[in-house]
Structure 1
Amino acid sequence: FCTLLATNKMPAQTKRGKATKAQKGKAARARLVKPSPDDPCGICITERLRRRACVTFPCGHKFHQRCVAARLRARWPGHRITFGYMGCPTCSADVTSSQSGVAPALQKLLRPHFEFREEVEELVALRARQEGFANGGRSSNAALVRDGMQRLSFYECAECSEPYFGGYQHCEAAAAADDDEDLDPDDLVCGGCSNDSECCPAHGAAFIEYKCRFCCSPASFFCFGKTHYCSACHRALLNAGVQNPAPQSCPATRFGRCPLGVAHPPNGTPEKVALGCALCRERKTEPRGYCEESDSDS
C-alpha cells in the first residue's frame, strides 16, 4: 500500500534514480488544472472558452482557435524577428514541428510559421558561424541557432518578405532611445532587393559586403536594419550616444581614386554601395566588385 502511494505521487524513475525530461513533463502536465469551459479565453479575455471552437497547446492550456490564429497573424512584436509568439500565450512553452501531442488544428495553424522559423534558423546558424560563434567548430547547429537568436538581429525584407541579417542586438538596444533612428518598416530591405545588380553566383545576396556609409572602408556592422558601418565609425556611433559620425571625405578627391576601387556617392549618402561577396573573399577568390587587392597591385 505504501509503495502504491509513492508511485502515484512521484514520476517513474530511471535506473539512475532521476526522472527523465519526458517523465518530468508528463508529471507537470498531470498537475496542470484542466481548463473549464466556463473559463475565459486567455487571449481575448472577453468570452468563455465554450463560446468558440478551441485549440489546446501541448502544455495543456486552451484558447479560442480564432484568437490563436489572430495572434499568429500578428507574428512578432517590433521589427526584429522573434518566435515567442508561437509558444503558449499563458506559460510561453515553445511548440516545435517535431513535437508529439500537438493537436491537428494547432498544427495546421502553426505549419507556415514552422517553415519560416526553419528558414530563419538556417540563416542564423550560417551567420553565427561566420561571426565566430562556432567555438572552433565545436558548437552544434542548435547551439549556433540559440546563440545567434540571442545576439544577432534578423528582419523580414519589406519587398521580398525574405529574412535577412540586420546586425547585432546590442546596437538595436542602444538605438532605441534615439528618435532619429526609429525604423520605418519600408526601410527594412535586404541586400538582394536594395542592390539587384549585386548577387554572388555561389552564395546569392545574403553575404554581399558593403561600403561603410560614412567613410571609404568595408562595413563590418549593419545596424538598425538599414545602415552599414566600419568598425571605427561604429565605435564612434556608440561613443557619441548613438548619433551618426560626421562623413569623411573620399580620398579620391585628393588622390584621384577611392581605395575601395569603386565609384560611389559622397560619404554619408543613404545609398548602399556593394563591394562583393564576403564568403568568396574569405575563400580567397576574387569577389565581384571588390578591388582592394587589385588596387595594391596597381
Structure 2
Amino acid sequence: MEKLNAQMETKRTCQRPLACGHHCGGIPNENVCAPCIMKGCQNQNFYGDGYCIMCTEPWTSKPIIQIVCGHLFHYDCIRQMLKNRWHGSRITFGFMLCPLCKVSISHSDLCEIMSPLVHLYEKIKTKALTRLQHDGLFQAKDITQPSGKYYKDPTGFAMDTYAYYMCSRCRQPYFGGERRCQDEVKEVNPKKLICPLCRVTTKNKDTTKKKVCSKHGLDYLQYKCRFCCSLALFHCFGTSHFCENCHEYYSVVYNAPRESLPKCPAGPCGQQLSGSECPLGIEHPPTGEEFVIGCVMCLNSNSY
C-alpha cells in the first residue's frame, strides 16, 4: 500500500530534473519549478528541516509550492488553508498571508482560488474606508501619530475597527458593527448571519427595498433599536441593532425572551412607556425584530 501511495504521489508531482539532477517534486506542469528540496542539496535551508510545517509530513510526500515570499509548503496545505478561509463569523484575511512571514500569498498556480478572495478583500476594503471617512476617523491618533498601531495605514485601521460578515443567504459581505463588540461575546452561528436586505420577511420585503437607495446601498441603512423605540447607534454580532442604552446593557436585553420585551412605546433596557404613541413616530414590527427606517446618509442630507 505504501508503495502504491508513493507511485500515486509521484504522478502528482513535477518530474522535471533540476540543475542538481534531482526531480523537482512541485506541481505538475507548473510555470517555474521550485528549488530542490533534498536535504543538503545546494546548501538549501528551508523551514521544517525536511518537513512541511503545516502538516509536519515530509516534503517528498506531496507536491510542493514556493510562494512569492520564498517559503515552501505542500501545495495541498496552502490550497486547503485558502479554501477554509477565515475562522469564526467575522470576515478576516489573515489566512491569505504566509504562515511564516505574513507576506501576502501569491503564485500563478493559485490564481483560480485567490482571485475571488482578492475581490472580496477589495470589496470590504472599499466599504471600510468609506465608513471610516463617514465616521470622521481618518485623523484618528492610531493613523496620524508615529506611535500609532496603524500609522499612515488607514486601510489597516479600518479593517481592524469594523466587522464585516458573510450573509448566509445571498453570500455577500455586509457591515456588522465594530470589531470590539464581537470580541466581547461568543461566536455567532454562521446560519444566523443575514444581511439587511435578506433579513426582512417576505411581508415587508418590498417596503424595505424602497428604503435602500441606489447611491449608498445597504451599508448605511438607519435601523430602529431592536429592543426599544429608539434610533439604533450600534450594530453588533452581525445580527442586532442597539440604541446607546440597550447597547450598554446588551446582556440584559439581548438574552431576554421575546415575550418579555416591552411593546411599543418601548423605552430602553426593557422599560414599558405609558401612552400609545411611538417616540419615533413610525409604525414598526413588535419589539425584538429588526426594522429599517431608511438610508442614514440620505436622511442626514435631507434628501431621502
TM-score (norm. length: structure 1):
0.71
- Alignment partner, residue 81 of structure 2: 71
Native 8 Å contact 2:177 2:237 kept in 1: yes
- Alignment partner, residue 201 of structure 1: 214
Stretches of structure 2 that go unaligned for 5 or more consecutive residues are: 1-42, 145-149, 267-272
Deviation at 1:156, TM superposition (A): 0.6
- Alignment partner, residue 232 of structure 1: 245
192-201 or 152-161, which moves further after superposition? Answer: 192-201
Native 8 Å contact 1:192 1:206 kept in 2: no
Q: Which runs of 4+ in 1 moved over 6 A?
A: none
Cα distance in 2 for partners of 1:87, 1:158 equals 25
Paired letter, 1:159: R
Native 8 Å contact 1:175 1:242 kept in 2: no
Native 8 Å contact 2:181 2:237 kept in 1: yes
Deviation at 1:51, TM superposition (A): 3.0
- Alignment partner, residue 50 of structure 2: 39
Deviation at 1:45, TM superposition (A): 1.5
* Residue of structure 1 aligned with 2:264, choices 232, 243, 250: 250
- Alignment partner, residue 223 of structure 2: 210
Within a 5 Å distance, the mapping from 1:55-204 to structure 2 comes to: 55-95=65-105, 102-135=106-139, 143-176=153-186, 182-195=187-200, 196-197=205-206, 198=208, 199-204=212-217
Paired letter, 1:194: R
Cα distance in 1 for partners of 2:301, 2:80 equals 46
Find out whether 1:276 has 2:290 as its counterpart: no
Corresponding residue SS for 1:222: strand
Paired letter, 1:61: H
Native 8 Å contact 2:246 2:253 kept in 1: no
Cα distance in 2 for partners of 1:241, 1:170 equals 19
* Residue of structure 2 aligned with 1:264, choices 284, 291, 294: 284
198-207 or 112-121, which moves further after superposition? Answer: 198-207
Deviation at 1:263, TM superposition (A): 2.0
Cα distance in 2 for partners of 1:169, 1:91 equals 25
Q: CA RMSD in A?
A: 3.0
Find out whether 1:219 has 2:232 as its counterpart: yes
Determine what percentage of the aligned residue pairs are the same residue.
Answer: 32
Stretches of structure 1 that go unaligned for 5 or more consecutive residues are: 1-31, 96-101, 177-181, 287-298
Alignment size in residue pairs = 238
Native 8 Å contact 2:227 2:253 kept in 1: no
Corresponding residue SS for 1:167: strand
Alpha-carbon displacement from aligned partner over 1:119-151 (angstroms, at most 9, x marks no partner)? 111111112222331229x989x8332111111
Corresponding residue SS for 2:122: helix
Cα distance in 2 for partners of 1:62, 1:109 equals 18
Native 8 Å contact 2:89 2:189 kept in 1: no
TM-score (norm. length: structure 2):
0.69
- Alignment partner, residue 28 of structure 1: none
Corresponding residue SS for 1:155: strand
222-231 or 255-264, which moves further after superposition? Answer: 255-264
